[in-house]
Amino acid sequence: MTSSKEQITILGATGSIGINTLDVISRHPEKYQTFALTAHRNVDLLSEQCLQFKPRYAVITDESKAEQLKVTLASYNSNTQVLSATEDLSVVASHSDVDTVMAAIVGAAGLLPTLAAVEASKKVLLANKEALVMSGSIFMQAVKESGSTLLPIDSEHNAIFQSLPEHFVAQGIRSCGIENIVLTGSGGPFLNKPLDDFSSITQEEACAHPNWDMGRKISVDSATMMNKGLELIEACWMFDVKPSDIEVILHPQSIIHSMVRYKDGSVISQMGNPDMRTPIAHALAFPERVDAGVAPLDFMSISQLTFDKPCFKRFPCLKLAIDAMKAGGNMPATLNAANEIAVEAFLQEEIGFTQIAEVIQQTLSQTGYAEIADLRAVLAADLSARQLTTQIISEL
């Protein structure tokens, strides 16, 4: 018998977004049922999640962990079927019994399953910004052609979405009296650190974000502000605007999550505590509203809301991303791949913090511009940027 509950696949269930998604789902068992949960390596957490949420499928893409997952689940008489091929991510994202897919794998690994969900006309909740950064127009074309509903999970994009008029999708935001989009960012842990000390920044310091508790890759991206750059690219594609339509401003308290400025002088923002369960619950229940377990925003305890301009000398990655989007073609995919390799090298202590931007900049300047006509071209740009960045790092 098909359940009347909304069937949900969570790609990247064991990550920070995946865990927060399950937390919201657990508050509404009458509404949501997990169809599939996926993870790369964290077999212990995936087992626990399967036993609690009883999905039809579990996918663990590190095949060496599949046996352990099967044995653990069997010992509890679980009915969850274990899959472990990379292609199985796309299978559980596009299965005909699935209504909604939370795309929360980190990095380029999320592209194909997220696209599979889009092409199968699912409601897609997009956390995996790298997928959209890499494939831009191809991704948005697939959304259009399939009629898939794309909803933003990134808190800034979710805030922008909430601050836009309802008819913006049909009319395009240019005909809605909008002046521009204000993309806010906290500035991360190094907003006030002396620039001379940047080269000695450690992995632990870079991963300790003042306001948000996130996976390690996005934490480093937040520290370099590449995250804001990726978000600017994500916003350009998602809302069909140009980099010049987006104003990036620093707002260290992370209470305002982004804003839309209208031609009549109005500025509409979305506010809330920095807790990803708010955008997750918003997108899951859209257009309804459900409890997310988030503490009410206490205005009396917020002493001030401050704003500042980002400095490209402090955050060169932000400038690299804006320029890559302006250049177009293969540049955003190249930027994204170079960043993934550079951040991983930093996390492995192979390069220093300031070398992340240097390595990405070198990769971009050594890559010739090329048009991106199809998915194959996206994957080719991604692969060649990975190879080039790896080579650049090995020669440092």
- Residues forming contacts to Mg ion in the complex (CB under 5 A) are 154-156
Helices 216-224, 353-365: crossing angle, 10 deg rounding? 80
User: What is the DSSP code (8-state) at residue 191?
Assistant: T
CB of 196 to ligand NAD, least distance (A): 29
Q: Which does 112 bind (CB under 5 to 8 A by kind): ligand NAD, Mg ion, none?
A: none
Please say whether the beta carbons of 391 and 352 come within 8 A.
Answer: no
Checking phi first, is residue 219 left (phi over 0); if not, alpha (psi -120 to 50) or beta?
alpha
As a whole number of angstroms, the distance between CA 303 and CA 280 comes to: 27
CB of 339 to ligand NAD, least distance (A): 11
As a whole number of angstroms, the distance between CA 241 and CA 173 comes to: 8
CB of 177 to ligand NAD, least distance (A): 29
Q: Which does 88 bind (CB under 5 to 8 A by kind): Mg ion, ligand NAD, none?
A: none
CB of 137 to ligand NAD, least distance (A): 19
Closest CB to Mg ion among residues 107, 329: 107
Helices (H) and strands (E) in the chain, counts: 16, 11
Question: Out of 7, 9, 18, 385, which residue is the one contacting ligand NAD (CB under 6 A)?
Answer: 18
Q: Which does 105 bind (CB under 5 to 8 A by kind): Mg ion, ligand NAD, none?
A: ligand NAD
Question: Out of 7, 15, 191, 378, which residue is the one contacting ligand NAD (CB under 6 A)?
Answer: 15
First to last CA, the chain: 60
The yes or no reply on residue 17 touching ligand NAD (CB under 6 A) is yes
Question: If DSSP states are collapsed to H, E and C, what string results for 295-335?
Answer: CCCCHHHCCCCCCECCCCCCCHHHHHHHHHHHHCCCHHHHH
The yes or no reply on residue 127 touching ligand NAD (CB under 6 A) is yes
Closest CB to ligand NAD among residues 127, 178: 127
Question: Out of 83, 183, 276, 378, which residue is the one contacting ligand NAD (CB under 6 A)?
Answer: 276
Burial of 5 (0-12, 13-18, 19+ CB in 10 A): middle
The yes or no reply on residue 128 touching ligand NAD (CB under 6 A) is yes
DSSP element (H, E) containing 179:
strand 178-185
The yes or no reply on residue 14 touching ligand NAD (CB under 6 A) is yes
CB of 366 to ligand NAD, least distance (A): 26
Question: Out of 88, 130, 340, 344, which residue is the one contacting ligand NAD (CB under 6 A)?
Answer: 130
* Cα dihedral across residues 139, 145, 148, 153: positive or negative: positive
As a whole number of angstroms, the distance between CA 388 and CA 394 comes to: 10
**What mask, x for binding ligand NAD by CB under 6 A, covers residues 72 to 101?**
------------------------------
CB of 174 to ligand NAD, least distance (A): 26
Q: Which does 235 bind (CB under 5 to 8 A by kind): ligand NAD, Mg ion, none?
A: none
Q: Which of 318, 283, 325 is nearest to 133 (CA)?
A: 325
User: What is the DSSP code (8-state) at residue 38?
Assistant: E
Closest CB to Mg ion among residues 37, 241: 241
Q: Which does 127 bind (CB under 5 to 8 A by kind): Mg ion, ligand NAD, none?
A: ligand NAD
Residues 52-71 that bind ligand NAD (CB under 6 A): 61
Q: Which of 318, 190, 305 is nearest to 247 (CA)?
A: 318
CB of 15 to Mg ion, least distance (A): 14
Quick count: other Cβ atoms within 10 Å of Cβ 65?
A: 20
Give residue for tokens 């509903």.
149
Residue nearest to ligand NAD (CB): 15
CB of 25 to ligand NAD, least distance (A): 15
The yes or no reply on residue 40 touching ligand NAD (CB under 6 A) is yes
Contact residues: ligand NAD, CB under 6 A: 12-18, 39-40, 42, 61, 104-106, 109, 127-130, 154, 212, 214-215, 217-218, 276
